[in-house]
């Protein structure tokens, strides 16, 4: 078996783990590091439920090998720790079964950080990467827009 | 889960990648260059791609270049599509890329991967074909720069072990009038029914297609017909489609008849946009 001992920086912690080179990052996060926030959905890059943050960009962890992200900073939904975006999702009822929620949150979190003044077109372009089987799109959009408005207020006050 | 094992190597120069490839070959191994890796992972999971060693090319500086220099735009083959899209140095390419996959997937899918992959849409190649783009290829006998059109036959025809390192487009193509449209059967994300890109150079329209057949293509015969302004637009289009490669795709996205119907209307839109006239759809 081809394995490699790798060191990953996940949610601000350094974690060492031995992986098969063929293991996806999604599998390693969940089954080796116990971080089950990123969810397996299609495993094919289509649904976005496995989305995490790699160096500030949303990435589908089913489309990455764990061995290729050794120098990167990885954040999963566990690393957000009660962000205002998460509060907005609760307040706006932006989930039903909740399976898609971590993926939407990680994608929207990166959007807010990179483009706090994102317009409707940009929000649509980014969030199109995620699918909600319960079709809670309206509420998700409201939660993201509300978190963007909060981010803009914070920026104005700085 | 990918049901087989492979070795993982990370190359820091094109020479190193090519040498590694050759030496693995000599050991009887089946290596692949690994760019975004999205196709190797997703098709690998279904055993439609098999490899014994992946050579990661994302750390090769020349494959990550993106700059305008000496009247040409140099684009590294391992650039993620979003980087190219956001830099917007070649608006036709940016617009075409913005319709490939979805935003998050485009953070991983690379330009060279889209061109060299097995999934046959290869939509990013369309603007490059009509903008007379050159490719830089590293192989065991060194490096060569040649026109993409001269090695493109359904896909870039590389020899075993050759690595596409860069794509180079002359600056005078970057600002030409253009048209790019992706028609899907439904929704805003997904593979195309048809994708058409066009630009106008020295009064002549150039056009390239994906989704129409099982491979992307540009055809000079089609362009000649479309540019024959002695005829009315409908007749030009009727003549042009006689030169389509065969067969027209027939899949869940649409039947050949439906594709042709959409294609004719789309070509009318192309003529209208680039000739500045208003033509009525039938
Ligand atoms: C979710 C999703 C949606 C998609 N939607 C679209 C779409 O709408 N339109 C479309 O056109 N495509 C689409 N694709 C297909 C995608 O563009 C291709 O599968 C592409 O190959 C992925 O690029 P990559 O960089 O990840 O390739 P990789 O997986 O790294 O490589 C793919 C192949 O290309 C070879 N290769 C890569 N780079 C080079 C190089 N520089 N030189 C030589 N060989 C190289 C590899 O060896 C391998 O054989 C989609 C893919 C996914 C996962
Ligand atoms: S599980 Fe990764 S995109 Fe669906
Ligand atoms: S809340 Fe159920 S999939 Fe989105």
The sign of the torsion formed by the CA atoms of B222, B150, B213, B119 equals: negative
> Does the pLDDT value for residue B280 go beyond 80?
no
Q: How far apart are CA B32 and CA B30, in angstroms?
A: 7
So what CATH class is B65-170? alpha beta
Q: Is the CB of B110 under 6 A from ligand 1?
A: yes
Structure tokens at B227: 């540019």
Q: Cα-flanking dihedrals φ and ψ of residue A59, to 5°? A: -140, 145
Task: From residue B2, give the alpha-carbon distance in Å to each of A26, B103, B109.
Answer: 12, 24, 19
> Does the pLDDT value for residue B49 go beyond 60?
yes
Q: How far apart are CA B227 and CA B233, in angstroms?
A: 9
Q: Does B186 touch chain A (CB under 8 A)?
A: no
B114 vs A contacts (CB less than 8 Å):
none
Atom of ligand 2 nearest to the CA of A61: 2
pTM of the model: 0.97
Which residue's C-alpha comes closest to atom 3 of ligand 1? B101
Which CATH architecture describes the domain B178-275?
A: 2-Layer Sandwich (3.30)
Q: Does B5 touch chain A (CB under 8 A)?
A: yes
Can you tell me the mean pLDDT for B113-136? Answer: 98
Q: What is the pLDDT of residue B240?
A: 98
* pLDDT confidence tier of residue B134, bands split at 50, 70 and 90: very high
Distance from CA of A6 to the nearest CA of B (A): 12
pLDDT, chain B, mean: 96
Question: Percent of chain A beyond pLDDT 70?
Answer: 100
Task: From residue A66, give the alpha-carbon distance in Å to each of A77, A156, B47.
Answer: 17, 39, 19
Structure tokens at B106: 């485009």
Fold designation for B7-56: 3.30.43
* pLDDT confidence tier of residue B36, bands split at 50, 70 and 90: very high
Question: Percent of chain B beyond pLDDT 90?
Answer: 94
Q: What is the pLDDT of residue B282?
A: 57
Domain boundaries, chain B: 7-56, 65-170, 178-275
Hey, do B7-56 and B65-170 end up sharing a CATH topology, with the first three levels equal?
A: no
Which chain B residue has its CA at the smallest distance from A50's CA?
B104
Interface of A with B in 73-112 (CB under 8 A): 107
> Does the pLDDT value for residue B260 go beyond 90?
yes
Q: Does A17 touch chain B (CB under 8 A)?
A: no
Q: How far apart are CA B128 and CA B210, in angstroms?
A: 13
* pLDDT confidence tier of residue A144, bands split at 50, 70 and 90: very high
**What is this model's ipTM?**
0.97
Which residue's C-alpha comes closest to atom 21 of ligand 1? B117
Q: Does B261 touch chain A (CB under 8 A)?
A: no
Which chain A residue has its CA at the smallest distance from B83's CA?
A57
Mutate to test the pocket of ligand 1, among B18, B38, B63 (most ligand atoms within 8 A of CB): B38
Q: How long a stretch of residues is chain B?
A: 282
If you count DSSP H runs as helices and E runs as strands, how many of each does chain A have, helices first?
5, 5
On whether the CB atoms of residues B83 and B3 are closer than 8 A, the answer is: no
């Amino acid at each position: 078996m081809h394995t490699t001992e790798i060191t990953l920086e996940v949610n601000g912690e350094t974690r060492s783990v031995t992986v098969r080179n063929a293991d996806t990052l999604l599998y390693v996060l969940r089954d080796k590091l116990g971080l089950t926030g990123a969810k397996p959905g299609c495993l094919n890059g289509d649904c976005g439920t496995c989305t995490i943050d790699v160096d500030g960009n949303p990435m589908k962890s089913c489309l990455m090998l764990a061995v290729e992200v050794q120098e990167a900073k990885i954040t999963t939904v566990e690393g957000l720790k009660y962000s205002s975006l998460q509060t907005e999702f609760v307040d706006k009822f932006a989930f039903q079964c909740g399976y898609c929620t971590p993926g939407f949150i990680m994608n929207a979190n990166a959007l807010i950080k990179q483009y706090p003044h994102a317009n409707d077109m940009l929000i649509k372009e980014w969030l199109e990467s995620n699918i909600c089987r319960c079709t809670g799109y309206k509420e998700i959009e409201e939660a993201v827009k509300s978190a963007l408005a909060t981010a803009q207020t914070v920026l104005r006050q700085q | 889960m990918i049901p087989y094992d492979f070795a993982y190597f990370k190359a820091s120069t094109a020479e190193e990648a090519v040498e590694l490839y050759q030496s693995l070959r000599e050991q009887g191994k089946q290596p692949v260059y690994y760019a975004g890796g999205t196709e190797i992972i997703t098709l690998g999971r279904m055993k439609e791609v098999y490899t014994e060693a992946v050579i990661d090319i994302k750390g090769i500086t020349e494959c990550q270049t993106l700059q305008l220099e000496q009247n040409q735009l140099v684009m590294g083959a391992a650039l993620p599509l979003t980087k190219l899209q956001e830099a917007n140095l070649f608006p036709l390419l940016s617009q075409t890329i913005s319709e490939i996959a979805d935003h998050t997937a485009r953070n991983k899918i690379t330009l060279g991967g889209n061109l060299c992959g097995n999934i046959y849409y290869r939509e990013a190649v369309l603007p490059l074909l009509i903008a007379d783009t050159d490719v830089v290829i590293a192989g065991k006998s060194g490096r060569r720069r040649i026109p993409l059109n001269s090695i493109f036959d359904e896909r870039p025809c590389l020899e075993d072990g050759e690595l596409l390192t860069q794509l180079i487009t002359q600056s005078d193509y970057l600002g030409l009038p253009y048209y790019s449209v992706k028609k899907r059967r439904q929704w805003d994300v997904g593979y195309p029914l048809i994708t058409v890109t066009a630009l106008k150079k020295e009064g002549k329209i150039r056009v390239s297609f994906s989704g129409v057949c099982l491979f992307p293509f540009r055809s000079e015969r089609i362009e000649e017909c479309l540019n024959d302004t002695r005829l009315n637009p409908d007749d030009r289009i009727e003549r042009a489609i006689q030169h389509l490669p065969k067969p027209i795709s027939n899949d869940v996205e649409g039947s050949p008849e439906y594709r042709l119907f959409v294609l004719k209307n789309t070509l009318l839109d192309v003529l209208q946009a680039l000739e500045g006239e208003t033509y009525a759809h039938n």
